Amino acid sequence: MTTREPRRRRALRRAAALAAAAAAIAAAAAHPAPANALAPPGCGDHAATTRALHRVTDVDGLTGAAVRVDDPRCGTWTAASGTADRRTGRPMPADPRVRIGSITKTFTAVTVLQLAAQGRVSLDAPVARYLPGLIDANGHDGRKITVRSLLRHTSGLPDHMDSFQSTDEFRFRHFEPEDLVRRALRLPDPGAGWHYSTTNYVVAGLIVEKVTGHRLEDEAERRILRPLGLRDTYWPGDETRIRGPHPRGHVRVDQGGTVRWADSTDMNTTVAWAGGALISTPRDVNAFYGALLGGRLLPARTLAEMERTVPTDPDRTWPGAAYGLGLIRTPLRCGGAWWGHAGDIDGFTTLAGVAPGGRRVSIAFNENPTTQAAFDDELALVQTGLCDRGTETP
């Protein structure tokens, strides 16, 4: 979500820094997975996932990490590694309440798609049908940009997050959605094709409000959060603090060879709104994606529309990723593909997905990756959590 996100992805792709194999072996030995004698046959003891989890903190050096696995047959398993707060040394909780960044986009997409299923929004209608004149500037034409192209990031709209040079420019400011759109329209045209833009989802959120006459937050609460019992998921609005117990969000800063960790926990996320403001937990995120991919939130025909993908820019996602309507499809090394999304905001990174058999994995970090190795290991943790049956290695 942040202005650093696309730049960091490009930097990570160039970095390709590899952790030492000896350190990985030592880390795995230091954290053996607990035996799970009560697990059903074939469920395993999550040994590979445990090793992948501790690699992120012990080898890559990230502050803290948590993973939750929900399996229809094997039940729930959670684990954590590292610390929740570098200042106090408090351990990382296994189900932390964190900022989930761009995972918010899936919630917004589902809200729009429910309206589409009800015939109140047409995916192939132009934005101008709902918001006339909103995006008619700098060569952009709301009569030619469809609702579907917003949700799929093929609208050609710039990303307003690219208008900020640093987090300090927006961290404690309130933004109205229309102001964010205007900022985006002043930026250079990103060109044809797929272009990740949080502005797309700001516009989608405004469409929800125009069609329903209600705030996006209230519609998402009524349609998704309350029916699914997502008690730890909420829209913070102008609140800068995270409610209740939570880990601190850390940003690694290297100044002249001296490394320190800045605390970026507190933030006004109206700058991302429909594209990145939500706060949640791995439990709630897994419940949400399980309900969505399980057919509980959308009719089968609408879910199929959501799963129609286009190729992405790997510098803004990862190799093999394809983008649907607020969903990312990624090949799964144990067969098939996993569906989900990722979120990145200063101090917090989250990834979540669902495997073909219904196994769900959500992971949360309270520090952003700064090397290619760390980013790859975060993705590997998702893959391992979805594939681990107690017999493979990460």
Residue of 392, 341, 388 whose CA lies nearest to 108: 341
Using only C-alpha atoms, the chain has a radius of gyration, in whole angstroms, of 20
Q: For residues 384 and 394, what is the distance between their CA atoms, to the nearest angstrom? A: 6
CA distance 394 to 385: 9
Q: For strand 258-263 and strand 250-255, is the pairing parallel, antiparallel, or unpaired?
A: antiparallel
* Residue 250 DSSP SS3: strand
Give the dihedral sign, CA 277/282/285/287.
negative
> Which residues touch 84 (CB under 8 Å, ≥6 apart)?
64, 90, 91, 92, 93, 96, 246, 247, 248, 366
Which residue do the tokens 């998402």 mark?
A: 220
Instruction: Describe the crossing of helices 198-212 and 104-117 by its angle, rounded to 10 degrees.
Output: 40
Q: How many residues does the chain have?
A: 394
Asked if 100 contacts 280 with a C-beta cutoff of 8 angstroms, the reply is yes
C-alpha 157/C-alpha 206 separation (Å) is 15
Residue 380, amino acid: A
Contact 342, 363 (CB under 8 A): no
For residue 118, CA distances in Å to 112, 212, 221 come to 10, 12, 18
Q: How far is CA 378 from the centre of its chain?
A: 12
Question: Is 280 a catalytic site residue?
Answer: no
The H-assigned helical ranges of the chain are: 5-15, 21-30, 47-58, 104-117, 127-130, 147-152, 177-185, 198-212, 216-220, 226-228, 282-293, 300-306, 372-387
Residue among 102, 155, 197, 280 flagged as catalytic: 102
Scan for tokens 């959500």, then name that residue: 362
Active-site annotation, residues: 102
